[in-house]
Amino acid sequence: MLIGIDDTDSNQGMCTTYLAALLADELKAYGTVAGFPYLIRLNPTIPYKTRGNAALGIDLRLSRESDSSLRSLRERVVSHVIRRISEYADADSEQTNPGAVFIFEEMYGETKEPLNFFFQKAVTDVIEIEEAFSLIDSFKSSDNAGFFPFSMKNGRGLIGSLAVCGAMLNSGWEATYEYLAYRLPENWRNRGGPPRFVDPESLIEADLRTSPQTWDTVDYSKKSKPFPVCVPSSDDPVLYGIRGNSSQAVSAAAGFVISEEAERFCVFQTNQGTDSHLIFAESFRELKPLHSYIAGGTVHSPSETLEGGHDIFSIADQNGNIIECAAYEPTGAFRHIIRRLLPGDTVTVFGSFKNQTLNLEKIKINSLVTAFQSDNPVCPVCEKRMESSGQNQGFRCKKCKTKAAGKVQTPVSRYLKTGFYEVPPSARRHLSKPLIRYSEEEKNG
C-alpha cells in the first residue's frame, strides 16, 4: 500500500519528514518499507508552505496473510498512521491543514496516470483544493476498499499527499537522496532543548570525502569561514541532512559526522536538486506568477543595487518583452556576477516568477558584448596621449604637433566569462540543481 502525508508541520516545531521517519520505523510491525521513504518537494512558490513545501510517502509491502485478515491489517495500518498524524500534527497552527492518502494495490493501475499528472502539476503549477477533492471522488469506491483519504481542517495537505503517491507510482523522474538525522525529543528546541551540536570540522570532512556525490553540506562561499548548510536553525526535530546522488553516498557522508546523539535517521528518496520545478519559456509573455522558469533574453538595463543589497536588472526576449530579474542579498557573491552584466549580453535565467520579477537561482551567460572605454588618442610619433585642443576642436600633441579628430574607443576586459553561475548553497532552493550535478554536456549545452 502507498501512504502519502502532507502538511502536519508548523514553524513552531513539527516537521512532516520526522513523522514519516517515525512511521517508516513503526510500520515495520505490519510489513516492509519498499526502497526508501519519499521526500518530494512541490512548487517552491506556494504561499501555504511552512518551509520547503515537502510531501512524504511510504510504500509499505504488507506481510502476506490470508485475504480475510489483509483487510484488517490494512485497517490497522490506516488507524496507526491517522493516530500518529493526530498526535504529531501541529493542528493549532493556522497554516497546518494535514492530509493523508492511502492507496491499495488493486487501485495502482487506475491511479497511476492521473496521479503522475497531478504530481508533475504539483511541482510546477498551482493546484486548487477542489481539484484534489474531485480527483479523490473519482477514485473513491463506496466501500473505501482501494483508496482512502484522511484530512483535518481544510485538508490542503491532500494536495501534497496525492502528489507524493503519484511519485511513488511512477518511476520516470530523476531521483536523489537525503540522509536526515533527528534530535532526541528532549533536545527539541520547542521543548526547551539546547542548540544543536554538529561538529563543523566533521561536516567538512564528510563533504571532502564524498563530494561531488554529495552536495550542499558546507557552503564555502562565505568570506569568514565554511558554513554548515546541512544543519537547520529552525525549531524542528532535524539534526542535519545530507544530500547526494545515491543512498550509499549520503550514508557514507553521515558516517563522518560527529554530533549530539540522534534519536533516529532516515534515508529518503527525493526529487531535490533536479530543477524539476522549472518550465521552459519561449517568450516572457508566457510567464505566470507562482511558477518557475528557464528563459533566455538579452540584458536590457544593467543591475542596480537597492537598499538591503538586492540587485535588480532587466532582460528582454526576442519580441521586446521586458522582465526584471533579482539576485537578493542572501545570494552573496553571486551578485558580483550580476553587477558586471551589460546591456546586450545574452543570458538564460533560471528561477521563480513572483511580483513580475524572476528570482534568480542560476544564470547562464551565453555571450558578452565588447565593452569599450574612451581615451584620448595616442600620438603616432611619440606614442604619448594627446591633449584636447578645446571643446569640439579635437586633440593634438603639443610636442609633435600631430592632430586627431576625436577620442578613441579601447576594448576593456569585462572580468566576466560566459557559462553558468549559481547562488551559493545557503541560498539554494531544495529543487534547484546545483552545478556540481551537471554533466559536461549540460555545462556546455
Binding site for ligand ATP (CB under 6 A): 6-7, 9, 15-16, 42-43, 46, 48-54, 97, 122, 125-127, 156-157, 159-160
By beta-carbon proximity to ligand ATP, the closer residue of 9 and 317 is 9
Nearest-angstrom CA–CA distance, 25 and 33: 9
By beta-carbon proximity to ligand ATP, the closer residue of 122 and 230 is 122
What's the min distance (Å) between Cβ of 66 and ligand ATP? Answer: 36
What's the min distance (Å) between Cβ of 132 and ligand ATP? Answer: 8
What's the min distance (Å) between Cβ of 306 and ligand ATP? Answer: 27
Q: How far apart are the first and last CA of the chain?
A: 41
Burial class (CB in 10 A: 0-12, 13-18, 19+), 4: buried
By beta-carbon proximity to ligand ATP, the closer residue of 50 and 116 is 50
What's the min distance (Å) between Cβ of 53 and ligand ATP? Answer: 4
By beta-carbon proximity to ligand ATP, the closer residue of 12 and 305 is 12
By beta-carbon proximity to ligand ATP, the closer residue of 49 and 336 is 49
By beta-carbon proximity to ligand ATP, the closer residue of 42 and 206 is 42
What's the min distance (Å) between Cβ of 225 and ligand ATP? Answer: 27
- Report the Cα 133 to chain-centroid distance in Å: 27
Nearest-angstrom CA–CA distance, 437 and 393: 59
Q: Which three cell numbers stand for residue 209?
A: 570525502
Pairing of strands 278-281, 291-305: parallel
What's the min distance (Å) between Cβ of 159 and ligand ATP? Answer: 3
What's the min distance (Å) between Cβ of 41 and ligand ATP? Answer: 8
What's the min distance (Å) between Cβ of 47 and ligand ATP? Answer: 8
Which residues share a beta bridge with 323? 315
By beta-carbon proximity to ligand ATP, the closer residue of 160 and 434 is 160
By beta-carbon proximity to ligand ATP, the closer residue of 14 and 363 is 14
What's the min distance (Å) between Cβ of 177 and ligand ATP? Answer: 17
By beta-carbon proximity to ligand ATP, the closer residue of 125 and 263 is 125
